[in-house]
A and B are shown apart, each in its own frame.
Chain A
Amino acid sequence: MKYLALASLLALSSMSPAAAHVVADAQAAPDGVTIVEGFARATLPGAPVAGAYVTIANGGTIDDRLIGVSSPSAGRMEIHDMIMTGDTMKMIPLSDGLLIPAGGSAVLEPSGKHLMLMELKGPLVEGDRVEVTLSFEHAAPITVDLPVDTINATAHGH
């Protein structure tokens, strides 16, 4: 029983880094499009690009589409997918945007779909925050302040 309590405590503590990625007042409008969580990765010295990752939920009854992203920290942003074919990484620009199905969500995470900040105006430093505005086909644009995590952060903290 003691071990069980310890195990659940460990499970809880290992979950806490993910909680740090939760964007403030995410559950504000469950009937529409919301950003459930997200983060950006810190950049290496001189890196001109950075990746940001968000989970977008669609509580509404019609499909929506993420069609644009922008940030005051980047000259421009794009939505990309990354796939691994064997040991080769392939980049696929999602120029038609990304579907957020009605009643479902779109998960952008490391080693997969991501928001790419290009022409960075400065380095992204771990512990800072970066403002990102997401535009949708139907929903009003949403601006979030994403926490900047480590250079190799994953959705589960590290």
Chain B
Amino acid sequence: MPRFAITIGAGFALCLCVAVVWFGVLAPRMEARNADAIGRGDYRLDSTSGPFTQATLTGKPSAVFFGFTHCPDVCPTTLGDISLWQEKLGDQAADLRIFFITVDPERDTLEMLDQYVTWLPGAIAVTGPEPQIRSAERAFRAISEKVPLENGDYTMGHTSKLLLFGADGALFDTISYQEATESAVAKLRRLLDAA
């Protein structure tokens, strides 16, 4: 009986050790590596300022957003909000690049996208062949979904958060759709201060 108790006790101790190592050491490390990997991939897109690849993210801080021009709400709102945040950031805002990657390459040409975002300082339109767009979505852990409408028309559902990358090309933070202005500006300020 005591031997049985010892075995149980040892079993518990072992489980505890495994749990401590997993939750205390391995999981956070894997998570950190996962965050580092966001934005990394072999996608090759076209932008109004040349090719857009994972290397584009390095050098200067950037914000990446997935959207499309046939977007009635989330995309115009986000671009409008960014413009408001830029006002609050003042001169510092000039250091931020904003990449607007289309989830609808079928309809969005680079010219259309450029026209759609060019009024926003620092905004760069990004598109590319459909497989490359999907590859970029995977790299940025973004998703998009085609929703059929009447008359053979369609709209898109898509990831709506803004991804912030440091000048080192690593994910710095994210801003959710409709996040409070103060919180969004604070994140952007930290991003730009770090650069």
Contact = CB atoms under 8 A, between A and B. Distances in A.
Given A49-B72, A89-B159, A152-B79, 4 more contacts: A44-B76, A87-B161, A95-B150, A152-B81
A151 B143 contact: no
7 contacts: A47-B116, A82-B74, A91-B147, A93-B155, A110-B73, A111-B77, A151-B79
Contacts, number: 94
Contacts of B119: 44-45
A151 B84 CA distance: 12
Given A43-B76, A46-B115, A82-B73, A87 B156 contact: no
Interface in A38-52: 41, 43-51
Interface string B69-103: 11111111101110010000000000000000000
Interface of A: 41, 43-51, 76, 78, 80, 82, 84, 87-93, 95, 110-111, 114, 116, 118, 150-152
A91 B177 contact: no
B158 interface: yes
Contacts of B121: none
A111 B73 contact: yes
Contacts of B75: 44
Q: Interface on chain B toward A: helix, strand, loop, or mixed SS?
A: mixed
Given A41-B76, A44-B76, A152-B76, A111 B70 contact: no
Contact of B80 (A49, A88, A150): A150
Size class of the B contact interface (CB-based, 8 Å): 35 or more
A93 B150 CA distance: 9
Nearest to B80: A152
Contacts of B112: 46
A95 B169 CA distance: 43
Contacts of B73: 51, 82, 89, 110-111, 114
B150 A78 contact: yes
B157 interface: yes
A51 B76 CA distance: 10
Interface string B157-182: 11111000000000000101110000
Given A44-B119, A45-B118, A152-B77, A111 B69 contact: no
